[in-house]
Amino acid sequence: MKVIRPICTADLDVLHQIAIDTGPGFTSLPDNRELLEKRIAATEKALVKETEPSHPDHYLFVMEETDTGEVVGTCGIDSAVGMTAPFYHYRIGTVVHASRELNVHNSFRTLYLCNDYTGCSEMCTLYLQPEARHSANGSLLSKSRFLFMAEHPQRFADKVIAELRGFTNDNGESPFWDGLGKRFFSMEYSTADYLTGSGNKVFIAELMPKHSIYIHLLPDSAQAVIGKVHPNTEPARRMLESEGFRYEEYVDIFDGGPTLSTRLGDIRAIHSSRYQKVAIGDVDNDGPEFLLSNTGLADFRCTKSCIDTRGSISTITQATADALQVSAGDTLRIVELKGRST
């Protein structure tokens, strides 16, 4: 059985290996052991203090196999981005050039550097080892964060975003970066990606163009990937869209990947979740799977399972109760694993 829990210091080695495995383009998880150690410490600190939405806390979780203790994935939430360092995007807009005398009217799509998502909460750092990408484990890993946010909404902003990894080729090269960013930064994509992932973002403000960029002047290869995701990220995009996230014409400044956004209360797994009392017994496994979580903070646990529900009571197996660290009579938060936002 897979269970989601907050990360701890003992997970540093496996988190570092995940950072290596993800490769270029995974900005939120750089191959930097010291920085990863600090992020684990930030999670442990955030989980034991009172906080508020405007405070930039970092929450990192891992997926663990209960039988072996093996960690096979990670996911995170930043409660408020851009509060300690600028948070950049390109906003896609339109500029019109027209001349009545010449009967010419041209519309051009543009990229404009902005900080519009400052203060939003961000879904980040989602990665599942390839051998675990089955049996809806990806949905569990990603959506577990929604039950955590539903239980502790005061810790997060009203608006939630998710930056999706943009397209890179088999060599880890970004057509968008090669067609735009490299012309201003004079460095390879992997270097710029590593620097920003390590928190060194001053160079962005120093070197990025200050005026709108006309998209039609970029190479065709760069234009073609604006708003496109890496093939491995397609399932994550579909999942987020099924939960209510939408693309609002904002893209990453390095790889051109799309940023999706929604309101906290509009996320399906949040507004559709409900409390149930725990009963322990045999369960019919023919029904739909549910996301189940306890109501903890530092001891938060989330898993997926079929359940038998009657009224305000849900029956779960002893193995599920053990994974969630709950007993008969305790309270669970539950929501159907699959569903579409209305």
Range of the domain at 326: 274-336
Q: Is residue 199 part of a domain?
A: yes
**Domain assignment present for 118:** yes
In the predicted model, what is the mean pLDDT of the chain?
Answer: 92
Query: Residue written as tokens 């990863």?
Result: 36
Residue 24 falls within a domain, yes or no? yes
Question: Mind listing the pLDDT tens digit for each residue in 104-149?
Answer: 899 999 999 999 999 999 999 999 999 999 999 999 999 999 999 9
The one catalytic residue among 16, 105, 211, 230: 230
Q: The tokens of 260 are what?
A: 């999706």
Number of domain units in the chain = 2
Same domain, 260 and 314: no
294: domain CATH number is 2.40.40.20
Question: How many whole angstroms separate alpha carbon 3 and alpha carbon 70?
Answer: 11
Distance (Å, rounded) from C-alpha 4 to C-alpha 133? 15
Residue 101 lies in a domain: no
pLDDT of residue 21: 86
Look at residue 206 in the predicted model and tell me its pLDDT: 76
Q: Kindly state whether residues 69 and 55 are assigned to the same domain.
A: yes
Tell whether 258 and 281 lie within a shared domain: no
* DSSP, res 179: I
Is there a single domain that holds both residue 124 and residue 200? yes
CATH code: domain of residue 239: 3.40.630.30
Residue 297 placed within a domain: yes
pLDDT at res. 221: 97
Residue 105 annotated to the active site:
no
Do 174 and 322 fall into the same domain? no
How high is the pLDDT of residue 205?
67
Is residue 96 assigned to a domain?
no
Which two tokens mark 108?
A: 């051009």
Q: Name the pTM for this structure.
A: 0.91
The ranges of the chain with pLDDT < 70 are 23-27, 52-54, 197-202, 205, 340-342
Residues 218 and 321 in one domain: no
Structure tokens given for 172? 């880890």
pLDDT digits (tens, 9 = 90+) for 134-187: 999 999 999 999 999 999 999 999 999 999 989 998 888 899 999 998 888 888
- Res 198: pLDDT: 65
Model pLDDT, residue 24: 61
Q: In 3-state terms, the chain is what percent helix, strand and coil (to 5)?
A: 30, 30, 40
Of the residues 238, 268, 298, the one at which a domain ends:
268
